[in-house]
Amino acid sequence: MSHTITETIDASKTKIGLKEALALAKKASTIIAAKGSKITTLDLKKDKPSDEDIAALIMGPTGNLRAPTLLAGNTLYVGFNEEAYKKFCS
């Protein structure tokens, strides 16, 4: 599977707050969020999570979008988990 990077944002220089992060999340149909060894998968169409539920997964304690974040097709990956990224790259 081939992927093309169309945009990169340096999270250390550009902060993405709640409003912009939620708009990004709503471009996806699935969110895969990793915090430590825990992976949470949300199907936005089936699960219909609230903005608060989405924010709890994608926002960091500083109020910015967690890094790394990757929007690939209809899937938003938030946080780093080696297995999730291996699936993305295969």
Instruction: Return the domain boundaries, the chain.
Output: 18-89
Which of 44, 39, 20, 47 minimizes the C-alpha distance to 85? 39
Residue 79, both tokens:
């946080």
pLDDT band at 72 (very low <50, low <70, confident <90, very high): confident
Which value, in Å, is the radius of gyration of the alpha carbons in the chain?
12
Which of 66, 62, 53 minimizes the C-alpha distance to 21? 66
Q: Tell me what pLDDT residue 52 has.
A: 97
pTM as predicted: 0.85
DSSP letter assigned to residue 50: -
